[in-house]
Structure 1
Amino acid sequence: MKRIGLFIVNLLLITHTLQAQHPISGIIQEAETGLPIGNVQITSPGSAIGTTSNADGSFLLTTDKNNIHLTFHHLSYKTLSRYIVLHSQEMDLGIIQLEKLPVNLDEINITGGMVTESNSPITISTLTGKEIQTQLGDQPLPLLMNSIPGIYSTRTGGGSGDAELSIRGFNQQNIGILLNGIPIGSVENGLVYWNNWLGLSHAIAEIQVQKGPGVSNAAINSVGGSLNIVTSNPKETPDYSLSYRVTSFGNQEISFSANSGIMENGWNVAFYGSYLHGDGYIDATNVSAWSYFLTLNKQLNAKNKLTITLLGTPEIHGQRTLKLSDQEHR
């Protein structure tokens, strides 16, 4: 009786072993180049069946099912799903092609070059566009940085826009000044003439200051630190504003901004313009300055975006670099 029982058990085991085991093989290649792809994960959802392709793209797995759903997954390629009906003991799927995943880079990382404060080992400070608009007034842009520890800025020449900036004792010749990640300092000595950027404050979205040496995509003089000015992008909805500003010493500024929003043709346009004039806060520091900032962008397709930016500040201003003499003071 025991022998009969053992015989039945062995027969069942042999039957289970001999149950149809279907080898499935194939070669995985890149769709564009035809090159083999290794380390592709081949799995069947809801089961423990799976394998990985070899360096030459080949793979082999077995299943006891007549129908099977396979997925081919790789980090650099689009995931492919195949439903396979097995008509024979062995099945060769032949060449399986995977398409590359597109690598999309965020535009603000390329043109803005901003650093995330929480993840950066560099000492950084950030000023928002709202802070700039409410605190700057008639001052040159660098004077707003005096609120940041380790930064010193002062007027030079006494005229509108004349200023200099230092970070922890390093003057502007050792500081990288960037606009949307692009160096704007003089190619001769690295200096920035701030009077050329009088109207830029209306178009600023954010200013980020890095103290000490940092990493940059451009070869710049950023031993002492760097200052990155990021301009505003056009808004998705239409927006218009008109403002007037007057100082206690008589300088007056009128500014206008307009955003078209996304139009039917896909274009998005933003314009900022201003006119500043006055006699200045001391004699011979008069100013007459126009400024404009125009940016246009269009999303051409899922991968490409076109951005055009024009800006300038045609201006005339006076300077008074010498102190009053005793006779003039009297």
Structure 2
Amino acid sequence: MGQPLRVGIVGLGAISGAYLSTFERLDSVRLVAVSDLDPDRAASVAAERGVRALTVDQLTTDPGVDLVLNLTIPAAHAEIALKAIAGGKAVYGEKPLAVTLDDARSVLDAGRAAGVRVGCAPDTVLGTGVQTARKAIDDGAIGEPVAATATMMTPGHERWHPNPDFYYQSGGGPLLDMGPYYVTALVTLLGPVVSVVGAASHTRATREIGSGSREGQVIPVDVDTHVTGVLRHASGVLSTLVMSFDSVATRASQIEVHGQAGSLVVPDPNQFDGDVQLHELGGAWRTLPPAAGYRDAARGYGVADLAATPAGVPARANGEVAYHVLDIMTALLAAADTGTTVSVESTCDRPAPVPLSDAPQAPEVAEVRGPR
């Protein structure tokens, strides 16, 4: 086995805790440094984890860091990624890859020019939930796929998040925030998308924070908070997508995939596992045992998978998939704005399937450099 990948984290907000917990049990990655806009927070995490607290400029140029894990707010994703790439580092970022397609393309182009890998969440699709469903589809369990539905209905993150402002600013909203989980799952299950139609609404001008030190504070809403659309996959499958911060709850399955010979219920794509249910023509619903994916996966497995992927082979949670997912979502917002069908100009290969396995093994560090 090679040496663990040395990771530096930029951004120590709410999501960082999940990555920090995962890295404690992954042999293939090793946290070496952290950075945050709040130096006291960085110092506290560094002391707790036994690593160094650095400034962003220090971390993105430090020779002891192989990969920068970018956990900043969406509006800063491209800026931090480009800093890291300029410092010769591989990059793995939280979703979305960037707020705009132009910024996302600049990150991919810079990574290619520098010869470093670019990866991006979500990595939930690498777990046993989506991967078992994918294997069932690929094995012909539902016959030829015809349609899919993906539904996410919540009252909004301001009820629980202590600093929810960015969810309601450019780069936020239910589609760009939660959509990556659902759209990435649909692309993983059914392949790339070629066009979209859609509609959206903006029901409230403000939201009230419901927890933390800012409880009761009112924040502005600058984005659409209910988005629905139909995605036409290159295969001809039609996927119906509903993303909302304006509802209370739903009893609809998170994702369903329907074929000529059967239907699948796919578990929550914001989680790594869950039951996959199959209803074959003439049969009844039954639960499929896990048959593919990383067992007991959690946020951070995409970093380990990227590191363990041989040079010249695309990692599963790669930048081109993230770019295509962002292209689909921005096209859907444009379609909702114009009331027209909008073509999705980019495409991507379906990521390689994940055989049923435990965590990726420690890689050769040099493999994070070179072609994505």
Higher helix share: 2
- Larger Rg: 1 or 2? 1
Is the pair's TM-score, using the shorter chain for normalization, greater than 0.5? no
Higher relative contact order (CA 8 A, sep 6+): 2
Normalising by structure 2, report the TM-score: 0.23
